[in-house]
Structure 1
Amino acid sequence: MTGIQEAPVHALLSDGTTVRIRQAGPADREEVLRLYQEMSPENLRLRFFSVSPASAREAADRVAAGERPGYRALAAEHKGHGYEGHLVGLAEYEVLPPGGTADISVAVADGWHHRGVATLLLEHLADAARTAGVTAFSADALSENHDMLKVFHDLGLRVTRHFDGPEVHCTVELTEDDAYLNAVEARGRVADVVSMQPLLRPRAVVVIGAGRRPGSVGRAILRNIGADAYTGPVFAVHPEADTIAGVHAYRSVADLPRVADLAVIAVPAAAVPEVAEQCGKAGVGALLVVSAGLDRHQSGALMDACRRHGMRLVGPNCLGLANTEDGVRLDATFAAHRPGPGTAGVAVQSGGVGIALLDGLARLGIGVSSFVSLGDKYDVSGNDMLQWWESDGHTDLALLHLESFGNPRAFSRTARRVARTMPVLTVDAGRSEAGRRGAASHTAAAAVPTMTRQVLFAQAGITATRTIGELLDTAALFHAQPLPRGPKVAVVSNAAGVGVLAADACAEAGLDVPSLGADLVNELLGLLPDGATATNPVDVTAVVGEEQLRSCTGLLARHGAVDTVLVTLVPTAVATATGEDLVRALTRPPGRLPRPVLAVLPTQAARVELLPTAVETTVPAYSDAEDAARALARATARAHWLSRPPSRVPELPDVETGRAREIVAAYLDGNPEGGWLDPQATATLLGCYAIPQIPWAWARDEDEAVTAAERLAGPDGRVVMKAYWPGLLHKSEQHALHLDLQNLSQIRAAHRDLVTRFGDRMTGVVVQPLAERGTELFAGVVQDDVFGPLVVFGLGGTATELLADHAARLAPLTELDAHDLLTSPRCSPLLFGYAGSPAADLGALEQLLHRLSRMASDLPQLADADLNPVLAGPHGITTLDARIRLVPRQAHDPYLRRLR
């Protein structure tokens, strides 16, 4: 990939070590030679098939020859003050004639084997090769070189082997499919979790910047670490004090009696880079920087120290972190109350949101496994935390508050996997323009449009809420009760009015409150007082007793007619039982119930509480039926998402990616600033992806228009004429088209009209046959600067912008993503045969969406693609009009392993 050719990137090896990957060149000759000279004779023989010193010199000279067509060399370096003298690996490719395949070689320094150096280099080398048009790697190895052969096998790419005596010839196809992405993801997960150990399971901690007087942030963190009975040694660093808050203080990090895994930095912003450098030299494994206000230079110096010394970083500008595991018990925050132990993982960008979430969870009695305040998120991100919780063995509920996304597509892929094993909840922060401005100014994040963020959450299976209160409402339900099997709810109340309100709340949340069958109604009435009704809502009346309510609830929870029981209760002076007794009917159920039970208690002071039961569970109780219904709707949506099998990105025939890239490159060579393709180039590019288009012809003058019309006219002889000039976007608004032209005189008159009105601006016209009737749809691509390409689908025609009936999904689309795109817009019933009209060819529409997705994924320069209208009918689809805009943009693989 071109990105690593221009600037070095940092990435993690399998043991969590940070290395830098960069392009190798002439300045590296002596270092490459030293790499080979320091190899054992056995490793030299395996690399060169001999131990001749000449082979090492030839290899060094090849790298020293520098960049040239068809050749690339990447070096992996380890930490140091500038990296010189620390080459630990080298990977090269050279394209073989006639092209398409490249010969590769890989070398790893002695002492660095089995740490993932070769695999990481090959991932980056393959990415660079794909961008250069290479489709396969070719390599020769001795058959006894099991380590190298295993590297090729474990890449996740398709490998074929051909044995020839003591040698084996390997061919590695570079197609980046799901199998390869899964393999890269698995390697990245292992490396990431190992690198996070010093942060979240440190064996020793040092606090730098704790003041001698109360009131400093560092001192508060030091006090919390001690109060939480951290299991390892804790030190303080202070230039003058001998002890701080009862903890022995040292003059510098270098003076500590042992190396600290984690350093908490709470010094003024100007001092942060130097302190970070001292920590790196001392061998500290990770930094927690709570200091705020770093300028650009200070931020860059901090990150440079972390990368050179291989330290992971939380912050800066954060509240701290905590891990409640028995073997750790670390509270390195300056929060007033430390989190209690439990199984909820919490990661936030805002310290204030973090305090609110921790307090809310504590009030509910939901303990925390680990808490990380990400702050400005220079390094450790929500993606890192999801992978940690997935692997820590303690977390079963993930709560996130993210104001920005560094790598949304990688985050989406991780979240989609993690959400299969535990609920992932988030607050959808920054929904309004003002909120997005606030998020951007607060965290230096890019303002993210609401649609793209919601698309990300929907595809990844993330449960998104609007507020912290709703997040806690939903977390309480997920923590306390099983997921509902469907949307059907039985509403039970001891007052008809509150039952009606609860039923309304459920319906408005998208749930179903069905009428109950006659047999079930009769059975319920046999349990309840006279005057009860049981059609749903179930009115148990104000005189219901504890045992009657318990039996009613238990019957509904065990019956297949509904998926959830929602019980709303108000205290009355009529009942023989007290209000507490009625609640006890829910907290002492007749054994474990197979379906979720929720309570709505309008007189309850708290918004939501978890009521302990006699069967070691809890019942979530809400003060407002709308809160309960919204939480239940999110639980239902999660159950539906989990019920769907994992989906894949389909393979597509008839795709000419290489030709498409040539078209894009040729256009941008002539138009360096980018722009809209002309009709011919647009049609050709769409043709590379076999996107159906109506027949058309380009005409430069009136006579060519007549000739084209005679050739293209259908049985009825009617055609359409559209004006064109660069920059023309909305033909209908500018009246730049004529429809239903039926004879040659009308065609000539239409052309003359366009010429008269638009003059020299018009460079030609497009002539098409008049299309048959069908449903007019819109399909397109939008490149988001943060999220990458989105495929958009919805109602088309002239009303598309007015009605804005569109849905979107991030590319690449899986089969389920394409189905969701077809069914999400309000116009979707038109596709399925609404009111007796013929259904559209859904298979053809799904193919269209997948082909647009592939085009967007292949071509990062594709800024916009609008296909409008796309005419859909029972016998297929066709594109009647299309626009494509290209911009100069380098390819960027979101799944390539690298640190931020």
Structure 2
Amino acid sequence: MADTVSGASEVCALLADGTTVRLRPACPKDRAQVLRLYDDMSADSLRSRFFVVSRRSGEQAADRLCALPEAGHRTLVAVHGDRLVGVAEYEIGDDPASAEIALAVADDFHHRGVGTLLLEHLVHLARENGVSAFTADVLTDNHLIHKVFADLGLRITRQYDGPTMRGVIRLEPDERYLAAVDARAGTAGTASLQPLLRPRSVAVIGAGTRSGSVGRAVLHNLREAHFNGLLHAVNPHAHAVLRIPAHASVADLPHPPDLAVLAIPASAVCEAVVQCGKAGVRALVVLASGLDESATAELTEACRYWDMRMVGPNCLGIANTEESVRMDATFAVTKPLPGAAGVAVQSGGVGIALLDGLSRLGIGISSFVSLGDKRDVSSNDLLQWWEADGRTELALLHLESFGNPRAFSRTARRVARRMPVLTVDAGRSEAGRRAAASHTAAAATPTMTRRALFTQAGLTATRTLGELLDTAALLNAQPLPAGGRVAVVSNAGGAGVLAADACVDAGLTVSALPSDLREELLALLPTGAGAGNPVDTTPAVSVQELSRCVDRLERSGAIDAVLVALVPTALDTAVGADLVTAVTAAREDRPGVPLVAALLDQPERVRLLRTEDGQAVPSYGEPMSAAQALFHAAERARWLARPPGSTVEPAGVDGPGAQALVEAFLARIPAGGWLDARETARLLACYGIPRLPQACATTEQEAVDAVARLAGPHGAAVLKAQGPGLVHKSEQGAVLLDLRGEPQVRAAYRDLARRLGAAMAEVLVQPMAAPGAEMLAGVVQDEVFGALLLFGLGGTLSELLADHAARLAPLTDTDIHELIGAPRCAPLLFGYRGSGPADVAGLEDLLARLSRMADDLPELAEAECNPVIARSDGVTVVDARVRLLPRHAYDPYLRRLP
């Protein structure tokens, strides 16, 4: 990547005030614009840039910056509309790892983040070209550039010499730098959404006079919501729509609206967007579907050029229930209820269902965005908005695709520590991808990849929309449980058993209560009651008795949640209804233990029972719904309680050596492919990955000599045929085990050569590994999600049993710890039925090294270590395979718009 910005000729990004600028390399045709930039600068700005007030300095700078690119010199420009508003450059001197930088920004664009944005992209460009430090000489009184450097987030050292300061900026992006970039992205993204979600004026383009038209429905909803701003209709064939004056075009409006909703055919969208841009519109909602790829690209390009944010196309619309806004720019039938949930969906139908469900529950929404095809505004933007809007307490997402999963994960895990973030795990089937190149690739299903993202980001992922609303009701109304211990209370034994089974099936624990607590409960309940858990109160229980029972359980410290399952009985027609009051009764100093109800005669799937003290208890029509919601709440509590973790940096890594090996391989085989055994061993050695000793042999005698050297005169050895098509060696009969003595080795070599013929290029000789737990550790590069680390059961049955867990790279120490404990076979590693524990620390180190390798090498398409023998005295990789593809590095944290 020599003359591009972040791998593209031009990228767009947001300034601190939400303005869109385009960043690209400078070229000779920019000279006039760069010269104009310097000509328009004040004397103070020129002095800060050149240390003297000289127009000649500007001419010389323009000549240099806009010359054809030379080795060691790179220039980026920032363009707003047709105007160049900033320029940044670096030039390498005698030291190839250090470069001198210079920066200039138009006076009227100061304090808007142009310089910082240019520097972020210049840092990325420089690092890709081997530069590890920037140097800059600045005047000590140039407070603007000092602040830019200080706020960048990189380590800087300063040397003062009279009126000047020499700064050295280390280009080592760490957590501090990423946090600074996050903060800037949040500020810029939130500012850019102000015209979209808090518009002062809205125009509906295509507001029809015909009843049932989409534009008319949007205009009707805006009017009925009592939009707290100016409302315009655009229709060239009408004087008014719904008693709102209509104008022939957006250009005819008395003032440019902040937001335009385009309810027009797909064929007219691109022209209308350009008209909106020329008129000064700041945000768009495009409802139309059916735009082809060319039209969609043209639409996006127009939005970038004219500095507009866009929702859609192919969407339902947007809403914001803030009292100061009151905007319902959707064509949904349900009127959004003001409330606490932020909602973002890609499917309009899902959006309608969530609007209806949240309104019915009384939770309501803070803001709603139907993302549609998601060509601009994304879930990342909405998470940043909800984080800062001061109203949202719950975020609900329905996403069918991820534009930048690693950036989404970073934003989501930050927001999830402040509020629950729920999503539906849509597209769980494995039909979306088939991979048979290795066990690791076959195991890396779309479901596993998405769940890895959700788990690490702290998202609550449900399987259905109903389960999403079930969980939202609980998280909105009740405290989080401290753990998974549940007390089930029921007035009918059968209902209690169903509820207990549901809890266990969901992953919760229903354990017997302590004996002293059982005695206290029996003293509170009618004769014949049982207090083993489930607690059977009998149908004769009164409201007061049930209330005291629930209260005692909540205060016992023996459980983390209470599930009350009630059924109507024939003892008294009023009893069934009255017992609900025991659940909703106000109690003083109520402990922080969640309480849920399962009312088996309840027609609704879920509703919120309002309590006497103004709180709410979620009530479900099925015990399983209640149990699943409790499980999700317990998982959220567990995620919040875990340490955030830090990225592990294993010692003894030779990154440059690994990169050189990769480059040499791809220079020899440009299309990529599998490394041979020698290359694989060298690559693993670059990352200090422990491997069983090995030697390659191309003749029978070489194999005999290698066995004698590696296994000794009495040891057992293994022969593995090597060749481009021999990937699954065990399945192809290419592995012969437990060979002892020269005759067996010679016979084995001849057997492999006879059966495999030309497919066998050589054999790999290894000593037999000592027995231990056979595990698999591997990496798969996903085109969208990046590197995925897998860990689980290894050996020949790895793919059949499919006992694997996954996390996205780079792994933190917390990720690694959880990954090792996640597979079902994990007890084998910690001592199972008398066996000793494996070297878990060694497994953690192996995963850390694989994570580092995956993060370092975007060309790493697959890497599989299988089996990995884990014993108490160490960890050894017995077999490994690596596949490389020609890919460029992609920085997921670099600020840019889609």
TM-score range relative to shorter protein: over 0.9
Could you say which residue in structure 1 is the equivalent of 2:622?
A: 624
Q: Name the CA shift for 1:254/1:624 in 2 (closer, same or farther; >3 Å).
A: same
Could you say which residue in structure 2 is the equivalent of 1:10?
A: 12
Taking the aligned partners of 1:109 and 1:666, their CA distance within structure 2 comes to 45
Number of residues of Structure 1 aligned to a counterpart in Structure 2: 886
Taking the aligned partners of 2:844 and 2:457, their CA distance within structure 1 comes to 20
Checking the alignment, whether the CA contact within 8 Å between 1:714 and 1:770 is kept in structure 2 is no
Taking the aligned partners of 1:872 and 1:448, their CA distance within structure 2 comes to 25
Q: Name the CA shift for 1:694/1:433 in 2 (closer, same or farther; >3 Å).
A: closer
Could you say which residue in structure 1 is the equivalent of 2:602?
A: 604
Could you say which residue in structure 1 is the equivalent of 2:49?
A: 47
Taking the aligned partners of 2:603 and 2:755, their CA distance within structure 1 comes to 71
Checking the alignment, whether the CA contact within 8 Å between 1:429 and 1:435 is kept in structure 2 is no
- 1:176 aligns with one of 169, 173, 177: 173
Could you say which residue in structure 1 is the equivalent of 2:766?
A: 768
Could you say which residue in structure 2 is the equivalent of 1:640?
A: 638
- Deviating more after overlay: 750-759 vs 599-608: 750-759
> How many angstroms does 1:758 deviate by?
3.0
> How many angstroms does 1:93 deviate by?
1.7
Checking the alignment, whether the CA contact within 8 Å between 2:725 and 2:759 is kept in structure 1 is no
Taking the aligned partners of 2:327 and 2:481, their CA distance within structure 1 comes to 36
> How many angstroms does 1:3 deviate by?
5.5
Could you say which residue in structure 2 is the equivalent of 1:315?
A: 312
Does residue 131 in structure 1 map to residue 114 in structure 2?
A: no
**Cα-to-partner distance string for 1:204-239 (whole Å, 9 max, x where unaligned):** 111100112212100111011111111101011111
Does residue 328 in structure 1 map to residue 343 in structure 2?
A: no
**Cα-to-partner distance string for 1:758-783 (whole Å, 9 max, x where unaligned):** 33433222222222222111111001
Could you say which residue in structure 1 is the equivalent of 2:548?
A: 551
Taking the aligned partners of 1:239 and 1:567, their CA distance within structure 2 comes to 61
Question: Secondary structure at 2:49's aligned position in 1?
Answer: helix
- AA of the residue aligned to 2:48: L
- 2:143 aligns with one of 142, 146, 150: 146
**Cα-to-partner distance string for 1:565-604 (whole Å, 9 max, x where unaligned):** 1111112122596222111111113235221111111111
Where do 5+ consecutive residues of structure 1 fail to align? 438-446
Question: Secondary structure at 1:835's aligned position in 2?
Answer: coil
> How many angstroms does 1:375 deviate by?
1.0
Could you say which residue in structure 1 is the equivalent of 2:813?
A: 815
Q: Name the CA shift for 1:87/1:466 in 2 (closer, same or farther; >3 Å).
A: same
- 1:513 aligns with one of 504, 510, 514: 510
> How many angstroms does 1:356 deviate by?
0.8
Could you say which residue in structure 2 is the equivalent of 1:748?
A: 746
Taking the aligned partners of 1:708 and 1:139, their CA distance within structure 2 comes to 58
Question: Map of 1:223-622 to 2, 5 A cutoff?
Answer: 223-432=220-429, 449-575=446-572, 578-591=575-588, 593-594=590-591, 595-622=593-620
Does residue 59 in structure 1 map to residue 57 in structure 2?
A: no
Could you say which residue in structure 2 is the equivalent of 1:37?
A: 39
Checking the alignment, whether the CA contact within 8 Å between 1:795 and 1:805 is kept in structure 2 is yes
- AA of the residue aligned to 1:719: A
Question: Secondary structure at 2:526's aligned position in 1?
Answer: coil
- AA of the residue aligned to 1:369: S
Question: Secondary structure at 1:782's aligned position in 2?
Answer: strand
CA RMSD of aligned residues (A): 1.8
Could you say which residue in structure 2 is the equivalent of 1:857?
A: 855
Q: Name the CA shift for 1:143/1:491 in 2 (closer, same or farther; >3 Å).
A: same
- Deviating more after overlay: 814-823 vs 700-709: 700-709
* TM-score normalized by the length of structure 1: 0.96
Checking the alignment, whether the CA contact within 8 Å between 1:4 and 1:21 is kept in structure 2 is no
**Cα-to-partner distance string for 1:140-166 (whole Å, 9 max, x where unaligned):** 222222221221222122222222333
> How many angstroms does 1:725 deviate by?
1.6
Taking the aligned partners of 2:238 and 2:354, their CA distance within structure 1 comes to 36
Could you say which residue in structure 1 is the equivalent of 2:26?
A: 24
Could you say which residue in structure 1 is the equivalent of 2:119?
A: 122
> How many angstroms does 1:436 deviate by?
9.4
**Cα-to-partner distance string for 1:124-181 (whole Å, 9 max, x where unaligned):** 1111122222222222222222221221222122222222333222222222222211
Does residue 789 in structure 1 map to residue 787 in structure 2?
A: yes
Could you say which residue in structure 2 is the equivalent of 1:708?
A: 706
Question: Secondary structure at 1:860's aligned position in 2?
Answer: coil
Could you say which residue in structure 2 is the equivalent of 1:667?
A: 665
- 2:90 aligns with one of 88, 93, 96: 93
Question: Secondary structure at 1:111's aligned position in 2?
Answer: helix
Taking the aligned partners of 1:170 and 1:714, their CA distance within structure 2 comes to 61
Question: Secondary structure at 2:428's aligned position in 1?
Answer: coil
Taking the aligned partners of 1:201 and 1:285, their CA distance within structure 2 comes to 11
- AA of the residue aligned to 1:896: L
Where do 5+ consecutive residues of structure 2 fail to align? 435-443
**Cα-to-partner distance string for 1:21-79 (whole Å, 9 max, x where unaligned):** 11112222222222222222222222222234443233222223322322221111101
Does residue 887 in structure 1 map to residue 889 in structure 2?
A: no
Taking the aligned partners of 1:769 and 1:841, their CA distance within structure 2 comes to 21
Does residue 758 in structure 1 map to residue 756 in structure 2?
A: yes
Checking the alignment, whether the CA contact within 8 Å between 1:570 and 1:601 is kept in structure 2 is yes
* TM-score normalized by the length of structure 2: 0.96
Could you say which residue in structure 1 is the equivalent of 2:437?
A: none
Q: Name the CA shift for 1:558/1:12 in 2 (closer, same or farther; >3 Å).
A: same
Taking the aligned partners of 1:763 and 1:432, their CA distance within structure 2 comes to 39
Question: Secondary structure at 2:618's aligned position in 1?
Answer: strand
Could you say which residue in structure 1 is the equivalent of 2:689?
A: 691
Could you say which residue in structure 1 is the equivalent of 2:675?
A: 677
Question: Secondary structure at 1:206's aligned position in 2?
Answer: strand
Question: Secondary structure at 1:389's aligned position in 2?
Answer: helix
- Deviating more after overlay: 236-245 vs 718-727: 718-727
Could you say which residue in structure 2 is the equivalent of 1:848?
A: 846
- AA of the residue aligned to 1:296: E
- Deviating more after overlay: 744-753 vs 721-730: 744-753
Q: Name the CA shift for 1:230/1:624 in 2 (closer, same or farther; >3 Å).
A: same
> How many angstroms does 1:715 deviate by?
7.8
Taking the aligned partners of 1:27 and 1:656, their CA distance within structure 2 comes to 43
Could you say which residue in structure 2 is the equivalent of 1:78?
A: 80
> How many angstroms does 1:851 deviate by?
1.2
Taking the aligned partners of 2:500 and 2:741, their CA distance within structure 1 comes to 62
Taking the aligned partners of 1:752 and 1:576, their CA distance within structure 2 comes to 86
Taking the aligned partners of 1:115 and 1:833, their CA distance within structure 2 comes to 59
> How many angstroms does 1:298 deviate by?
1.8
> How many angstroms does 1:713 deviate by?
2.5
Could you say which residue in structure 1 is the equivalent of 2:438?
A: none
- Deviating more after overlay: 660-669 vs 219-228: 660-669
Taking the aligned partners of 1:140 and 1:228, their CA distance within structure 2 comes to 57
> How many angstroms does 1:434 deviate by?
6.6
Taking every aligned residue pair, what percent have the same amino acid on both sides? 60
**Cα-to-partner distance string for 1:184-203 (whole Å, 9 max, x where unaligned):** 11110110000000010001
Could you say which residue in structure 2 is the equivalent of 1:440?
A: none
**Cα-to-partner distance string for 1:288-342 (whole Å, 9 max, x where unaligned):** 1111111222212211111001100011111111100010000111111210111
**Cα-to-partner distance string for 1:352-382 (whole Å, 9 max, x where unaligned):** 1111111111111111111111111111111
Q: Name the CA shift for 1:577/1:518 in 2 (closer, same or farther; >3 Å).
A: farther
> How many angstroms does 1:424 deviate by?
0.7
Checking the alignment, whether the CA contact within 8 Å between 1:473 and 1:631 is kept in structure 2 is yes
- AA of the residue aligned to 1:869: P
- AA of the residue aligned to 2:288: S
> How many angstroms does 1:662 deviate by?
1.7
- AA of the residue aligned to 1:650: V
Taking the aligned partners of 2:27 and 2:702, their CA distance within structure 1 comes to 56
